[in-house]
Amino acid sequence: MLLKTTLLFFLTALAEIVGCFLPWLWLKKGGSMLLLIPAAFSLAVFVWLLTLHPAASGRVYAAYGGVYVVTALIWLRFVDGVKLSHYDWLGAALALVGMMVIVAGWGRA
Backbone angles phi, psi at 62, to 5 degrees: -65, -45
**Interaxial angle between packed helices 36-50 and 2-29, expressed in degrees from 0 to 180 and rounded to the nearest 10:** 160
Instruction: Single out the residue of 3, 16, 17 nearest to residue 49, CA to CA.
Output: 16
Residue 85 lies in a domain: yes
pLDDT confidence band for 71 (50 / 70 / 90): very high
- Can you give the residue range of the structural domain that contains 52? 2-104
pLDDT tens for 6-61 read 899 999 999 999 999 999 999 999 999 999 999 999 999 999 998 898 788 888 89
pTM: 0.88
Is residue 100 situated within a structural domain? yes
- Residue 109: the pLDDT is 63
As a dihedral over the C-alpha atoms of residue 67, residue 72, residue 78, residue 84, rounded to 10 degrees, the angle is: -90
Residue 15 lies in a domain: yes
- Count of structural domains within the chain: 1
Judge whether 11 and 49 are in contact, CB under 8 Å: yes
Confidence of residue 81 (pLDDT cuts 50, 70, 90): very high
Residue 109 lies in a domain: no
Say how far apart CA 56 and CA 28 lie, in whole Å. 36
